[in-house]
Amino acid sequence: MAQLIGGVATSHIPAIGGAIHKGIQQEPYWKPFFDGFPPIREWLQAKKPDVMVIFYNDHGLNFFLDKMPTFAVGAAQQYVNSDEGWGIPSLEPLRGELDLSWHIINTLIDKEFDVVSCQEMLVDHACSLPLKLLYPEGNYPVTVVPVCINTVQFPLPKASRVYALGRAVGQAIADWDSSKTVAVIASGGLSHQLDGERAGFINKEFDLQFMDSLLTNPEWATQFSIHELVEKAGTQGVELLMWLAMRAALTAGAGAGVRKVHSNYHIPISNTATGLLALEKTTY
Ligand code: DHB
Ligand code: FE
């Protein structure tokens, strides 16, 4: 059976791609953000995952407001990365992991999550930036399965539903008939609001409570409705649903415990409160 080693959650502000491109990671504005990553890269280098299942939200690149699946899973040999308008460099196409894609899709449908399967799917900064941050040298040693969760066009899926989806994805990974190792990635959040009267809104107290809950009481955020989450984290901060899916995936299989590898929180990068959290799945 495949081995699920743990998960990493990170913010995905497009400007990060610009900073990497310009090589300004050590400048005072960026350093507190980029300094969070080396301990997590070391952990990944030790664990050497073969595959990353990436929970992310598309920002209008592959799905636009006219056709918006609630949950969509990639089932392609490769995923072309493109920039939906931020002016950041694109990655080489991400390599798919077809067998796991279909295993996840079959498992989810069997568990009554009626997902859209995508045999062709462009992926935006939410998929490419975590890979750039985790493998800065550029040779991405992983294949990917993108799992897209709608956080941009109402109605959004409830936190409790996203948690259940994440758990089912984790179960699918744990019983995938493969000798490969798998990590789950969450891309998005934490609190931010890019438009409207509350543009620039950040909620440090809520963010830190949410990050803490993922260790102490993973279902804590499922008590909130989507409107409550938007109120607490901002219209785009609701991307924190990806973190919830990642954490739920780690509850699957034998030994549902986790240990914190490393975390970081820094305000702001662009309009966003940046969060970073790596969790290792333990056997007790
Ligand atoms: C920003 C944050 C995001 O999550 C995003 O998708 C785009 C922009 C920002 O803070 O600039
Ligand atoms: Fe975003």
Share of the chain above pLDDT 70, in %: 98
Mutate to test the pocket of ligand 1, among 16, 83, 151, 236 (most ligand atoms within 8 A of CB): 236
263 lines ligand 1 (CB under 6 A): no
Mapping DSSP to helix (H, G, I), strand (E, B) and coil, where does residue 192 land?
A: coil
Q: Which ligand is nearest to the CA of 11?
A: 1
Long-range pairs for 135-140 at CB < 8 Å and ≥24 separation?
A: 135/41, 135/44, 136/20, 136/37, 136/41, 140/91, 140/94, 140/95
81 lines ligand 1 (CB under 6 A): no
Residue 114, classified by CB atoms within 10 Å of its CB into exposed (0-12), middle (13-18) or buried (19+), is exposed
Name which residue sits closest to atom 10 of ligand 1, judged by CA: 271
Question: What predicted TM-score, i.e. pTM, was given to this entire model?
Answer: 0.98
> Which residue from 28, 49, 25 is spatially nearest to 38, judged by alpha carbons?
25
143 lines ligand 1 (CB under 6 A): no
Alpha carbon of 163 to ligand 1 centroid (Å): 23
Alpha carbon of 126 to ligand 2 centroid (Å): 7
167 lines ligand 1 (CB under 6 A): no
Higher pLDDT, 252 or 226: 226
Average pLDDT over residues 68-95: 96
Kindly report the average pLDDT of the chain as a whole number: 96
57 lines ligand 1 (CB under 6 A): no
What are the tens digits of pLDDT across the range 237-251?
A: 999 999 999 999 999
Residue 284 scores a pLDDT above 60: no
Output the six-digit token pair for 180: 């490969």
What pLDDT is attached to residue 51? 98
Average pLDDT over residues 176-187: 98
Distance CA 10, CA 145 (A): 17
CA-based radius of gyration for the chain: 17
Name which residue sits closest to atom 8 of ligand 1, judged by CA: 13
Residue 205 scores a pLDDT above 80: yes
Q: Just list the catalytic residues.
A: 125, 192
Residue 254 scores a pLDDT above 80: no
What pLDDT is attached to residue 255? 63
Residue 157 scores a pLDDT above 80: yes
Average pLDDT over residues 115-125: 98
